[in-house]
Structure 1
């Protein structure tokens, strides 16, 4: 009887482990697909002479990110390496390997975010070099602090304020960090030629609204893998995360429709703003809190992107700093507001900790990116020549255009 029970228990454990591995693998695939969303969002936004570069850049960045994270970043964040035999690595259905794949797709989102900000005037190889150091060193520094307790930051938060910094799916760890890294790169590159004419700002219209919309749809669908599957196990799946993601997305859509005055660019970025912001507290908030979080995020994006494009020298092509950087920071703070039990949330969060943790993440992003992009710019230059920028990155870098005009 005892032996029989042991066999049953072992079989249940094996089945659970297999299910968790499959669950996380599906999540990794969904988030990996989001990179196609990043690519098409950029393709639809940039001018036609830079569309090939947008596609190639996202894919090449993913390849470099994988190497950087496999050999350096994952070890820095979690202390784990892959220098063992295949039999050891595949233990437990290879769950540890699939976890790496899942977290890699998050790490690789950083250069994908940056790509949209620096589009149309960045050199190819220097950007790839920068990607290696950002994903290998800068991103995993903060990732490990928040999601693995490195350097005792979370322990200090809990001991001093009674709650750790809460970021369930990366509003701050991924999006805010990526957006503020992008801001530094954008500032170093400067404005695209032709943006200022007769002393006034000129905005280039998106080249392909259907591609822009396709990118937004792919990202929106993949986001449910990004958020829900951050539980990393079947047992941890939460319908609350799914519905909160849905409500924040819808809040973003509706706010963008009203505030964006029916502009398709704003309407398709609105849901993304809401989804960025809800990542941190999607497992804590009441759906109404998530709805408000999404509405505020889209309002932030529409106002800030409009102001930035028309009144500043920050030439952020896709608006990745307001969308990911600022809305991601809002998401970290919102988790400390709508996660409170007094506002219908599950509790266990501190507003001050959420604010402080968000500021620390932004600080690491700014300092790290200044070092990486600053050194690369000084040593090799980040920006295309004026002639190459005029001809477009497609011909200048890849020697081919997006369409055959013959």
Structure 2
């Protein structure tokens, strides 16, 4: 009996440590979000980019701890510390891990709304998004709330499969961002005489650094979504790698060697493979990532040139919204055993789940940002935008050379 108890304790401790490492890796990805945005925006908005990612994480933690986690999983932390630390505190670490996913939503949105959004109204909106909108869909998929997964299983033969959040995290974040972007409108000077005016990235090395940090952290995002050591899969790791490479190569080819496209290409592939990374054959993951890389390049250029109101600074709608939706569908295609996958997935369930995720995110984003905008405008004044968010909001420039 003592031996059995010792083995159980060791396994519990190992699982807790395993998931803690995953949480730390995904937490580090927020630095990637920050530097990707810092490298893309103009110099006069670099401080604002850094501050937004940090403060959004703080507000997201409070919103998810007190409200969001309960909405998604019907549990809370209003118990004694002795109860919370049962099983070596695994449940606490699980919250930490899932929080880093939830906090990615405002980080995704931040890149789309950069350079013209007011600070506090958007911070308040982030709190509502993480407390209510995101955990509602998270609970539908990852906790089976309201019988959603049971209904899909009974109707189409399988539940909606999203192993690491192509739709739950990235798709939802991208479509929420689209709602905010459309409400904000384009940056001043972005379009002149019906033609787009390119704002060049301020710092390609920072942009590249952000992309690399995200790529490395993504293996914690995907592989450690197993949440226990006995569920870890080398297939997830290799599929993540192949999708990343597919995104790089295709973005290089169709993006004409543009460094912005090349460094976002791997992210597009990784977004898309999250859902089916535990099911696909590595070749299926490669194709999934390659298609995602092409989708990002083509849709980013199309949106910038054909939709003046859709001024998406980092391209978060095509990168996370569209590639996330593609990932949900790709899991239903390349997860099939006939294409070398492990099977047990329904394309119809993937389609329905993806569409529901898009609707929840976009409508939820319109409601939250629309209501906040009614109370207090979410957009900087024209003078503040011209001066730049660094000076108009934070009263300090990124470097002493900025005026």
Alignment TM class, shorter chain as reference: over 0.9
State the distance in 2 between where 1:173 and 1:244 align. Answer: 19
In the alignment, what sits opposite 2:196?
A: 201
Among candidates 75, 84, 107, match of residue 79 of structure 2? 84
| Deviation (angstroms), 1:405 | 2.4
Partner-residue secondary structure (3-state), 1:169: coil
Moved over 6 A (4+): none
- Report 1:155-194 matches (<5 A): 155-194=150-189
Q: Distance in 1 between matches of 2:263 and 2:107?
A: 18
Q: Secondary structure at the match of 1:164?
A: coil
- Quick one: which of 232, 236, 250 aligns to 2:231? 236
Select the residue among 187, 205, 209 that pairs with 1:210: 205
Shift of 1:80: 1.1
Structure 2: runs of 5 or more not aligned: none
Which residue of 12, 20, 25 corresponds with 1:25?
A: 20
CA distance in 2, matches of 1:271, 1:310: 23
Q: Following TM superposition, by how much is the alpha carbon of 1:253 offset from its aligned partner in structure 2, in angstroms?
A: 0.3
TM-score (norm 1): 0.98
Check if 1:340 corresponds to 2:336. Answer: yes
Once the two structures are TM-superposed, the CA of residue 203 in structure 1 deviates from its matched residue by 1.5
Q: Distance in 2 between matches of 1:365 and 1:392?
A: 29
1:227 aligns with 2:222: yes
Aligned twin of 1:378? 374
Matches within 5 A, 1:383-394: 383-394=379-390
State how far apart, in whole Å, the 2-side matches of 1:15 and 1:291 are: 37
**1:72 maps to 2:72:** no
1:312 corresponds to: 307
Equivalent residue number for residue 130 of structure 1: 125
**Superposed counterparts of 1:266-285, under 5 Å:** 266-285=261-280
**Can you list the C-alpha shifts for 1:159-213, whole angstroms capped at 9, x where unaligned?**
1111000000000000000000000000000000011123311110000000000
Kept after mapping to 2: 8 A contact 1:203/1:309: no
**Corresponding position of 1:121:** 116
1:341-366 deviation per Cα after TM superposition (whole angstroms, max 9, x unaligned):
00000000000110110000000001
Uncovered stretches (5+) of structure 1, i.e. residues with no partner: 1-5
* SS of equivalent residue, structure 1 residue 129: helix
Identify the residue that residue 91 of structure 2 maps to in structure 1: 96
Q: 1: CA distance between counterparts of 2:193 and 2:30?
A: 38
The CA distance in 2 between the partners of 1:70 and 1:81, in whole Å, is: 8
8 Å CA contact retained: 1:274, 1:298: yes
Q: Is 1:302 the equivalent of 2:297?
A: yes
Residue 354 (str. 1) matches residue 350 (str. 2): yes
Correspondence 1:323 to 2:293 = no
Aligned length: 401
Question: How many angstroms apart in 1 are the aligned matches of 2:350 and 2:139?
Answer: 17
Work out the CA distance in 1 between the residues paired with 2:297 and 2:38. 20
SS at match of 1:375: helix
**Cα distance in 2 for residues equivalent to 1:284 and 1:365:** 26
Give the distance between the partners of 1:181 and 1:198, measured in 2 at CA.
29
Does residue 112 (structure 1) correspond to residue 119 (structure 2)? The answer is: no
| DSSP 3-state at the match of 2:161 | coil
Match of 1:3 in 2: none
Q: CA separation in 2, counterparts of 1:161 and 1:258?
A: 38
1:271-310 per-residue CA deviation (whole Å, 9 max, x = no partner) reads 0000000000000000000000000000000000011111
Q: Say whether 1:399 aligns with 2:375.
A: no
Aligned to 2:46: 51
Residues 363-382 of structure 1 deviation map (CA, whole Å, 9 limit, x = unaligned): 00011111100000111000
**Match for residue 253 of structure 1?**
248
**Contact preservation (8 Å) 1:252, 1:271:** yes
